[in-house]
């Protein structure tokens, strides 16, 4: 390395990376030390490294904040580009996180300072896009740590940014779900990354979304809640920080903190609580929700009473009731707006019903944290008959139905709860009821995992349903269900939608049943977006009479039967779907059904790609049908199909097979490299209508009167 870069003296090498090197430098005029970042000569990253340098210089030029590293100059010296910036005598937050030498309280103050610096950057239109501990330098200002956010090399400035939309920039473990999904970064994407760092601080360096490969990490960020934080992780800090982390790591941007400043304030407010408020995993409720009265229940530990029933009689609205570890054999009616919190590890505080449900909720806004509820024979463990209680980190177990939610207008919320059913139903939501489920699991059921009653409504986010012997989710007449990021694996089918019911599924996985991933019954409506549907014995999607199903960007793969079967008078709209490697026909358009498919792929099936049977009709626009063992497209007697800008290729049989009395129109289509031929016509089949310059490389074949295949010339029609 040369002795000088521009006006700066080069002192020594500080570090080396894939794109460049960092040197300690000195400004001889001002006598101050600087960090000099340069692009490595001959770097394979070349132009990208230079573009990042320029981006970092332009971004940092907009910023002058005590918690952002200052960039002094961007220059070129004899073809070598360099960046001169503030030299910070300190260590990376990444090192401090894993060293064990710095308390969690101090690390949290460092993170709050990073929030301040990032908030300033956001105010000036700069989105960092690579927030991570390695990009935070920490030094000492007296006894206090001082954080400096650095490396704006992948930053986005202004609404358009400096990279193409859809291009990921940054470090995968810290990327927000919407950024992974679209490639478009926002200020909320940076807040999600701060949430990952907060989680790492609380857990001593663990990441919230883990996997052996990058693909598994991406999957967990997109579809699963963060790994649980144990009680031992919260011994040094107030458990309110768990709620802060959960909000910062919310899947939806609108559920996170509105800005980085608000996140920093929440961290500092939580740290004002004098010591951990609970040794259990559930977070204590915010102070504004408690009147200041606390009642401790249990033997030893300075318990005020031995019974939850007694504690409830003594409690006023807003009282926090703390339950010490143990099994409480009593059936309790909660008819006051109290907070009931379990102390201890998960499963150590058990309420076991003796005459009816373990808990019967009859109040507007009770909060239940960390309890295990155990039902008895013929009685649920939990029944909510009115109000909108909140359950967090609870386990609900029963030999029959785990939980029953009743009452018009009831709207309970379950966060990270587990429903372990030993009987027919895990969770039953009765008519007129609203329920929200966030995270957690539902398993062990024999008939239904979540049973949404007539007119009821359920919202589920990041929930694991199954394994279980029955149907994972059943939505009854006029019921509604909205699922985001859920996984359902149940023996009798993933989702069943009855007459006039509605479901909407986004980023869900419907897997591994002996029937169908989605069963849409008469006159139901279903919308599935970015879902993965596979390993079902009958069909990925099975649509019955009068049902209406919309599939957008879904993957229907590896089903032993059909990919999608649309039956009598069913209606299906498919857009951007991949239907692949199914044992039966990829898409079956049955008698009287109608299908519109646009930009879909039907490939590598062990049977037909698309089969339009008697009375079925469909339009395929911009679709690819390739590599199927049977005909790419088969149109049976009475079937009607329009193919526009479609490609039928590389099949092991015929590209297009037309039977007697079928009606087919091809417009600007390509048929080539099919093993048996391009278009095969049965003996009495009518020629397809050909419009707009089709390319049929494999030729036309027809079955003659003797059953032989003969080549014929196509008929071009306008």
Residues with catalytic function: 130
Task: Look up residue 83 and give its two tokens.
Answer: 């960046």
* CB neighbours of residue 461 within 10 Å: 21
DSSP-derived 3-state class of residue 10: strand
> If residue 242 lies in a helix (H) or strand (E), which one and from where to where?
helix 240-248
Q: How far apart are the first and last CA of the chain?
A: 72
* CB neighbours of residue 301 within 10 Å: 11
Q: Round to whole Å and give the CA distance between 335 and 319.
A: 12
Q: Round to whole Å and give the CA distance between 711 and 703.
A: 9
- Look-up of token digits 């040094």: 236
Three-state secondary structure string covering 407-465 = CCCCCCEEEEEEEEECCCEEEEECCCCEEEEEEEEEECCCCEEEEECCCCEEEEECCEE
* CB neighbours of residue 124 within 10 Å: 13
Omega before 467 cis (within 30°)? yes
b (16+ CB within 10 A) / e for 41-53: eebeeeeebbebb
What is the dihedral sign for C-alpha 468, 471, 475, 477? negative
- 400: Cβ contacts below 8 Å, ≥ 6 apart: 375, 377, 378, 379, 380, 421, 422, 423, 424, 425
Q: Where are the strands (E) in 129-252, listed by range?
A: 136-141, 144-149, 156-157
> If residue 96 lies in a helix (H) or strand (E), which one and from where to where?
helix 93-99
CA atoms lying within 13 Å on the CB side of residue 645: 6
* CB neighbours of residue 213 within 10 Å: 8
DSSP-derived 3-state class of residue 311: helix
Is 650 in contact with 673 (CB distance < 8 Å)?
yes
Q: Round to whole Å and give the CA distance between 253 and 189.
A: 8
C-alpha of 262 from chain center: 24
Is 115 in contact with 89 (CB distance < 8 Å)?
no
Task: Look up residue 302 and give its two tokens.
Answer: 């300075």
């Amino acid at each position: 390395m040369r002795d000088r870069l521009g006006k700066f003296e080069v002192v020594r090498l500080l570090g080396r990376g894939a794109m460049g090197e960092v040197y300690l430098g000195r400004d001889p005029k001002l006598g101050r030390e600087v960090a000099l970042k340069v692009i490595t000569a001959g770097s394979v990253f070349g132009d990208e490294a230079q573009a990042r340098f320029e981006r970092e210089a332009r971004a940092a030029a907009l910023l002058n904040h005590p918690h952002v590293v200052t960039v002094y100059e961007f220059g070129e010296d004899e073809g070598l580009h360099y960046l001169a910036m503030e030299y910070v005598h300190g260590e990376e937050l990444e090192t401090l996180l894993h060293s064990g030498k710095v308390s969690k309280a101090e690390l949290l103050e460092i993170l709050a300072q990073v929030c301040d610096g990032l908030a300033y950057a956001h105010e000036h239109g700069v989105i960092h896009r690579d927030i991570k501990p390695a990009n935070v330098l920490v030094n000492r200002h007296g006894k206090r740590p001082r954080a400096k956010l650095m490396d704006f090399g992948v930053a986005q400035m202004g609404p358009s940014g400096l990279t193409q939309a859809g291009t990921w920039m940054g470090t995968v473990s810290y990327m927000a779900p919407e950024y992974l999904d679209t490639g478009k970064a926002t200020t909320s994407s940076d807040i999600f990354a701060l949430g990952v760092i907060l989680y790492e601080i609380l857990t001593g360096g663990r990441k919230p979304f883990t996997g052996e490969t990058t693909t598994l990490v991406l999957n967990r960020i997109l579809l699963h809640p963060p790994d649980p934080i144990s009680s031992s992780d919260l011994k040094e800090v107030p458990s309110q920080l768990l709620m802060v982390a959960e909000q910062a790591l919310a899947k939806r941007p609108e559920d996170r903190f509105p800005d980085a400043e608000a996140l920093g304030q929440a961290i500092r407010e939580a740290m004002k609580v004098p010591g951990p408020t609970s040794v259990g995993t559930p977070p204590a409720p915010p102070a504004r929700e408690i009147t200041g009265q606390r009642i401790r229940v249990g033997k030893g530990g300075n318990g005020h009473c031995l019974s939850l029933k007694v504690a409830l009689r003594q409690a006023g609205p807003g009282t926090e009731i703390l339950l010490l570890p143990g099994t409480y054999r009593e059936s309790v009616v909660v008819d006051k707006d109290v907070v009931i919190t379990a102390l201890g590890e998960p499963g150590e505080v058990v309420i076991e019903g003796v005459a009816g449900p373990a808990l019967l909720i009859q109040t507007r806004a009770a909060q239940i944290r960390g309890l295990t509820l155990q039902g008895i024979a013929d009685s649920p463990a939990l029944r909510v008959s009115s109000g909108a209680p909140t359950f967090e980190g609870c386990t609900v177990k029963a030999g029959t139905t785990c939980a029953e939610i009743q009452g018009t207008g009831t709207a309970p919320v379950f966060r990270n709860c587990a429903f372990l059913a030993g009987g027919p139903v895990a969770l039953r939501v009765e008519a007129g009821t609203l329920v929200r489920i966030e995270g957690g699991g539902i398993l062990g059921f024999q008939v239904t995992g979540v049973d949404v009653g007539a007119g009821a409504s359920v919202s589920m986010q990041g929930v694991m349903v199954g394994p279980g012997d029955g149907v994972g989710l059943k939505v009854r007449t006029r019921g509604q269900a909205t699922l985001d990021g859920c996984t359902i694996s149940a023996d009798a089918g993933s989702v069943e939608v009855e007459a006039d019911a509605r479901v909407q599924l986004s980023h869900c996985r419907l897997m591994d049943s002996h029937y169908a991933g989605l069963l849409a019954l008469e006159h139901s409506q279903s919308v599935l977006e970015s879902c993965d549907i596979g390993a079902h014995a009958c069909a990925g999607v099975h649509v019955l009479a009068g049902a209406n199903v919309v599939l957008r960007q879904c993957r229907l793969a590896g089903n032993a039967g059909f990919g999608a079967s649309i039956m009598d008078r069913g209606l299906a709209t498919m857009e951007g779907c991949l239907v692949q490697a199914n044992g039966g026909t990829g898409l079956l358009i049955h008698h009287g059904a109608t299908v519109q498919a646009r930009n879909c792929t039907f490939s590598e099936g062990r049977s037909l790609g698309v089969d339009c049977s008697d009375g079925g009709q469909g339009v395929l626009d911009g679709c690819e049908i390739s590599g199927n063992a049977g005909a790419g497209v088969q149109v049976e007697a009475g079937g009607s199909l329009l193919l526009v800008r479609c490609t039928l290729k590389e099949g092991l049989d015929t590209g297009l097979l037309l039977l007697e009395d079928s009606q087919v129109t091809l417009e600007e289509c390509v048929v080539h490299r099919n093993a048996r031929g391009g278009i095969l016509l049965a003996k009495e089949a009518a020629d397809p209508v050909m419009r707009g310059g089709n390319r049929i490389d494999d030729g036309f074949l027809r079955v003659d009167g003797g059953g032989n295949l003969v080549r014929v010339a196509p008929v071009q029609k306008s």
